[in-house]
Chain A
């Protein structure tokens, strides 16, 4: 590695006022866009790419990476505050982020999310700088067999996000996978569960389902609680935010989650087709599994927020690895970035490390800068964002509803999606009422298409003989790890249930006497 060139490239980027300004503007746009349910970082990059046409390469890359990193953090804002993840990558952040906000710790949750996003992004950028050729080499060995088993590995974390009942968690997961099969089948274009509805041919859009299951369901449940007298309509958060970054004690508590989340995010991000949405669940499950107190996860602890937010921002560095070293985009945002490079006359790929090494280093530096810009924007915005939950519930719930339904519409500009959002709001409300966990559906919706497509492709390539999978060592490795995760999660869940039962007994449930009929 040419250290002199690396340092001079970093200095060039960090001292160029145009790059600084563009990256900061990108981060502002990304955070705001990401915070709106339904608006993803991909959309932000796609919307702003025309503005980058007239710029030099590095300022335009800075702008786009600013949106990318800002959008990744922005998604957590609405997940924490209103139970509606702004982006799919923030889907797991609500598991602990929203309960923290409910406990009056919205500001703390936001600052942990921001700090973890920054650290995860820096970890991703560092790994990208030093290990990109090596990681890309491994990631590109992935065929349909490895991708199938990667999806299976991703699904193995379902047990750890299933909550009290594993059976219910797995029913939710299979239901989610079944939902993925609605529409034309990906290989032969035969209609499945479409019932003659044209809008169903393309399948269910992920974002309206996500918004429905979480935001709309929460509003229905909130109205029910208020009318039944279980929640005050005037309830609002009175949290005073004294600092925008987490204190030393919290950092000490979450640093291990940040590091592991960042590394997991980077490696999953480096695999083409796998992104932040998968990485956050894997990171959450890993960190919960290795925690001394797994029973506290999901109740609103900063560790849960840190593990997911560092993972999704780590992905931004990971996704750049195959883009730069092989010319293959790791996700939809880097696919757009690939277009930006080509428009500037630079072809990413192995030769880029030979002919355009200064540019490669400048892109590394721009990613680092984008994460820094995201931190600055986040610090400036924590107090403002946290004000949202200081609104009374009787004002907040209707606002969440109309903003969420608009988010559902904006994805495909289709009223049908608003209907889907409402339908899943009802499903989510009923599932919450009867303690069927919602997160497994989410994970299944993310991994289902990847699982089916690669399963069918693998079976077609091997003439229907699944036993051929034994010839793919990486795939077998993933499968073994997945089985290990399932066994470990089962043991862990048993421990959690036992501790909860003990806690329940201590809390005095003795007064609940059961009457035999």
Chain B
């Protein structure tokens, strides 16, 4: 199998190190916004800056390693193998992963208003359907019973109050029992 240079792990490392350098520059700028403390031997911004410097040193190391590797890479080098893709168009696996991330974001957004059981039911049912569980009975049963069971354990036995949204009446029901 032929692996192009731009698809190799070494090239992915190069891109990652450039992105990391941008992140480190941004993080350094953020440390300049931290207020200073009077008469402090160590300023509040000092420790984060030490960490950013450390991170930058090894990012530059990775960058240099990647450049050297790309210029003199042999086919049997582990870094000459094909890197994982993030191509939404060509890779349906990546598309599915981004869909799960999007669903998780919606999950967080509606967690409080719809309640844990409802959002968990929707999230798990959609993911199960997505990855091939098409039989309605197990799909609906697992998606509803697992969140309900978890809610009951956390609420009744561990005294953790979880948002229930539309199913608030279940809490009153359990309280009465």
| Residues of chain A whose beta carbon lies under 8 Å from any beta carbon of chain B | 33, 36, 39, 43, 47, 164-165, 167-168, 170-171, 174-175, 177-178, 181, 185, 187-188, 190-193, 216, 219-221, 223-230, 233-234, 392-395, 397-399, 401-403, 405-406, 409-410, 413, 415, 418-419, 422, 425-426, 429, 433-436, 452, 455-456, 459-460, 462-464, 500-501, 504-505, 509-517
**CB interface residues, B 59-101, toward A, < 8 Å:** 59, 61-62, 65, 73-78, 80-81, 83-84, 86, 91-97, 100-101
**B75 A513 Cβ-Cβ under 8 A:** yes
Q: A178-B27, A433-B84 are in contact. Are A398 and B93 (CB under 8 A)?
A: no
Shortest CB distance B57–A (Å): 8
Which of B3, B30, B111 has a CB less than 8 Å from the CB of A514? B3
Task: For the complex, count residues of B whose C-beta is within 8 A of A.
Answer: 87
- Asked if A190 and B158 sit within 8 Å, CB to CB, the answer is no
Contact of A460 among B4, B42, B52 (CB under 8 A): B42
User: What residues of A have a CB within 8 angstroms of the CB of B150 in the complex?
Assistant: 402-403, 406
Asked if A515 and B100 sit within 8 Å, CB to CB, the answer is no
Closest 6 A/B residue pairs (Cβ) = A228-B93, A398-B124, A174-B55, A514-B75, A227-B96, A188-B37
B2 adjacent to A188 (CB under 8 Å): no
Q: List 23 A-B contacts (CB under 8 A).
A: A36-B153, A164-B78, A167-B58, A167-B65, A171-B62, A187-B40, A192-B48, A223-B97, A223-B100, A223-B130, A223-B131, A227-B97, A228-B94, A393-B131, A398-B142, A401-B104, A405-B120, A406-B154, A409-B162, A415-B111, A459-B41, A504-B76, A505-B76
Let me know if B131 and A227 touch, CB within 8 A: yes
Is there an interface contact between B58 and A170, defined as CB atoms closer than 8 Å?
A: yes
Min CB distance, B99 to chain A, in Å?
8
B16 touches A434 (CB 8 A): yes
Q: Are B42 and A402 in contact (CB under 8 A)?
A: no
Assess the B111–A167 pair: CB atoms within 8 A. no
User: Number of contacts between A and B (CB, 8 Å)?
Assistant: 234
Known: A178-B51, A510-B76. A516 touches B5 (CB 8 A): yes
Q: Does B47 contact A (CB under 8 A)?
A: yes
Q: Is the pair B104, A216 in contact by a Cβ cutoff of 8 Å?
A: yes
Contact yes or no, B44 A185, CB < 8 A: yes
Contacts of A191 on B, CB cut-off 8 Å?
A: 34-35
Contact A452 B120 (CB under 8 A): no
Pick from A219, A500, A514: contact of B74, CB below 8 A: A514
Does residue B18 face the partner (Cβ distance < 8 Å to A)? Answer: no
Judged by a CB distance under 8 angstroms, whether B132 is at the interface is yes
A399-B160 in contact given A425-B104, A434-B84 (Cβ < 8 Å): no
A402 to B16, CA, bound (A): 31
Max chain A C-beta neighbours (<10 A), residue from B8, B96, B105, B162 = B96
Asked if B112 is at the interface of the complex by the 8 Å CB criterion, the answer is yes
- Min C-beta distance of A503 to chain B, whole Å: 11
- B101 adjacent to A220 (CB under 8 Å): yes
Chain B residue nearest to A460 (CB atoms) is B41
Residues of B with C-beta under 8 A to A463: 41
The residues of B that contact A168 with a CB separation of less than 8 Å are: 58, 62
Q: B146 touching A512 by the CB < 8 A rule?
A: no
State which of B58, B76, B84 has its C-beta within 8 Å of the C-beta of A174: B58
Flag whether B138 is at the interface (Cβ < 8 A): yes
Judging by beta carbons under 8 Å apart, are A409 and B116 in contact? yes
Question: Which residues B107-122 have CB closer than 8 A to chain A?
Answer: 107-108, 111-112, 116, 120
Is B127 an interface residue when CB atoms closer than 8 A count as contact?
yes
Residue of B44, B76, B97 near A224 (CB, 8 A) is B97
A167 to B62, CA, bound (A): 6
Assess A178 versus B76: contact at CB under 8 Å? Given A170-B54, A410-B160: no
Are the C-beta atoms of A512 and B132 separated by less than 8 Å? no
B133 near A: Cβ within 8 Å? yes
Report whether B101 and A401 are in contact in the complex, using a CB–CB cutoff of 8 Å: no
Contact present for B42 and A415 (CB under 8 Å):
no
Given A515-B2, A517-B4, A402 and B146 contact (CB-CB distance below 8 Å): yes
Contact A401 B41 (CB under 8 A): no
Closest B residue to A184 by beta carbon equals B44
B-side contacts of A455, CB under 8 Å:
42, 47
